[in-house]
Amino acid sequence: MADTSTMVETTITLTINGQACTGQKGQTILEVAEANGINIPTLCRHPWLTNHGACRMCVVQVENERRLVTSCAAPAVDGQVVTTHNEHLSKLRQMSLELLFAERNHICPFCPATGNCELQGQAYREGITHTRYDYIFPVLQPDTSAPYFVQDHNRCIVCGRCVRACNEIVGVGTLNFGHRGSNELVIADLGVPLGESSCINCGTCVDVCPTGALFEKRQPYFTRQPEMERKLAICPDDDLGCAMAVLTKSGLVARVEGAEEAPVNGPLLSWRSRYQLLEEPYQRVLSPLVRNAAGVLEPASWDEALDKVADGLSVGLQAALFDGAMAPVAGLCSGRLPSETLEAFHQFVTADCRSMMVDTLRGDERRTQRAARSLHEGYRECDLEAIREADMVLVVGFDPMETHPVLGAWLAGLQHHQQVPIVSINARQAEVAKQANLALKQRRGSAQAVILGMLCQLLDMAQLTRRTDRETQVRWRSHPPDRVAVEAGVPAEDIIRAAELYAQAKRPVILYGPRLTGIGNPTVIGLLWEMAYFCGNTTADGAVRVRGFHSEANAAGAEQIGFRGGADLETAQAIYLLAGDDPFEPLPQLREELEAAPSVVLQASHLGPLTEYADVVLPSLTWSERGGSWVNVAGLVQSFAPVTSPPAGVLSDEQVLARVRARLAERQVATPMEAVDE
């Protein structure tokens, strides 16, 4: 039988408006009322945030209390008798609302939030037809300096939601209050324009603003929220695994918002997912394109395009049929795509094209990590929780503010709220270096020397808690900080200071990312694992407090499926690129290889940097049209349904691959695993 004693102890009963209401100890009066279906008006309260008690809309009368109580902040007490609505309370709420209207320039018909504004909504509900107070009509200049949203003090009710969101959810603490009384304003940093402030453009403040005081530049006219459909989707821009709420109207994406239920990021999003994903800098590919004799891509029928694809692939495939060897066909696929599409592509290349040259567009990042794992067996990297609880962060060759902005916000939050020191080791100009407590900008290619310098210093400081062999010690000792300083071009005292900060911390975490893995030096990764391991910085389950990140949202999924080709594109007779909507920019070497390949097929949703190399372009889906599963950097699998439908005639990637496979089978150059079924 279930033990109900704890439940009984924590259950409380209140009488609200004559109705017996049960709740739990620790809840506020407002929470108990809401849980029992009783509505109390609110304005400054937001479910994502702590309570502020600023607007007094939620005031209630509690029997035997001499003063009115703000129900959003007052704890519910067993036996309380509460009144939430009567004439007196209604008059007070009306007065509060009228004062809010009179203090600023709320001209509702000209406000971007009209119809979707909580202030306006409350005014209607309280039956306000006009204000009894003179409008002050203050002269307040909107701040348009931020790239994606506007702050208009004219519509601000100083509820503080944005200030709390910036502090509590984001952690950067850009927003604050300035001035006093009715002149009180929400300011950025010490009163600078938002565009010049520490704001990271995450837009969380815009999400929580109840009025039109913060609105997106892209969407000055808000579509009314109730008319929108809301679905969750993955942010395809990095492998942290951030989920976001996508609001659609008439089948089109209207806006992206934070989602409290997102398991990794909660309501926090980056400017990339919230704003950049909605931009469409290139033209959509709606039907096949084939390069003509004059070298120009022109619209073609599916039949013509599939023939051209089969022509290109057949050269390599026929050679392989004759030899019984692997075909010189290479397949590169965006690692942003869901596992189901990656699997279909992997099978297409390995089974239908009989080639093992299959990888993701940024497969070099995973290759370097894989090489490190084979050189240094037995290390396992920590989960994301270890980052959230870190008391020191060492960021090596990685700029999370740029490539993984939500992770960057976590670091900013750790630094802002818990004074967690951040040390950056980066040869490039990096945003994280600007925020770091200590930034080492070494010469390119000398990150390894700097890490060895730190290890030498840690050894000298007797900071190792695990025994190292003599050979390892000799290797580390051969890199004293003063010698590394000359080689790497960073002051020896900075290397020593970095080692000291690392040694002083109890739960330091080391983060590295695409830049470090992309340059292909597995030794550096191995040294980071050794640093954590030999200094005893492991989690309870034995993982080293080190975590590497990738640019591709489903890099871990691709690795599980077996994208390990290390495609040697120089020998490829044909290259098949499944890019989807990946804004991938090829590096010079890949450009050369694409130029040299006799045949290049591109499956992409938009024209873009890869188009110029393609002989045939086939349509593909965008992020909002895809459904499937993604595996994040820590192994979390998340599945999402498509948010929008593709335009008429645009097929799924699997359907396009099936058409190509069928055409190859017709030519009898491929032996499909199964009968083709779109």
What's the angle, vertex CA 452, arms to CA 449 and CA 455, rounded to 5?
A: 155
Q: How far is the CB of 30 from ligand FES (least distance, A)?
A: 7
Which 28-57 positions form the footprint of ligand FES (CB under 6 A)?
Answer: 42-45, 53-57
Complex with ligand FES: residue 28 or 201, whichever CB lies closer: 28
Binding mask 128-157 for ligand SF4 (x = CB under 6 A): ----------------------------xx
Residues 122 and 57: beta-carbon distance below 8 Å: yes
| Binding of ligand SF4 by 234 (CB under 6 A) | no
Closest CA to 508 of 450, 422, 427, 432: 422
Q: Distance between CA 439 and CA 433 in Å, rounded?
A: 5
Q: How far is the CB of 246 from ligand SF4 (least distance, A)?
A: 19
Complex with ligand FES: residue 84 or 624, whichever CB lies closer: 84
Which 188-217 positions form the footprint of ligand SF4 (CB under 6 A)?
Answer: 199-205, 208-211, 213-214
Which 57-86 positions form the footprint of ligand SF4 (CB under 6 A)?
Answer: none
Question: How far, in whole angstroms, is CA 4 from its chain's centroid?
Answer: 41
**Beta strands 11-16 and 19-24: pairing type?**
antiparallel
**Beta strands 214-216 and 149-151: pairing type?**
antiparallel
Tokens coding 235: 């942010």
Which 169-188 positions form the footprint of ligand SF4 (CB under 6 A)?
Answer: 170, 172, 174-175, 186
Residues near ligand SF4 (CB under 6 A), total: 27
Pick the binder of ligand FES from 28, 70, 270, 638 (CB under 6 A). 70
69: β partners:
60
Residues near ligand FES (CB under 6 A), total: 12
Binding mask 2-41 for ligand SF4 (x = CB under 6 A): ----------------------------------------
Q: How far is the CB of 72 from ligand FES (least distance, A)?
A: 3
Determine the length of the chain: 678
DSSP 108-170: GGG-TTTTS-HHHHHHHHTT--S-SS---------B--SSSEEE-GGG-----HHHHIIIIII
Complex with ligand SF4: residue 216 or 552, whichever CB lies closer: 216
Closest CA to 501 of 394, 362, 586: 394
Q: How far is the CB of 55 from ligand FES (least distance, A)?
A: 3
Tokens coding 153: 């003090």
Among ligand SF4, ligand FES, none, residue 394 binds (CB under 5-8 Å by kind): none
Residues 244 and 193: beta-carbon distance below 8 Å: no
Q: How far is the CB of 156 from ligand SF4 (least distance, A)?
A: 3
Q: Distance between CA 354 and CA 329 in Å, rounded?
A: 8
How far is CA 157 from each of CA 95, 102, 620, rounded to the nearest angstrom?
14, 10, 46
Among ligand FES, ligand SF4, none, residue 166 binds (CB under 5-8 Å by kind): ligand SF4
Pick the binder of ligand SF4 from 158, 305, 490, 544 (CB under 6 A). 158
Complex with ligand SF4: residue 158 or 561, whichever CB lies closer: 158
Q: Distance between CA 356 and CA 539 in Å, rounded?
A: 37
Contact set with ligand FES (CB under 6 A): 42-45, 53-58, 70, 72
Contact set with ligand SF4 (CB under 6 A): 156-162, 165-166, 170, 172, 174-175, 186, 199-205, 208-211, 213-214
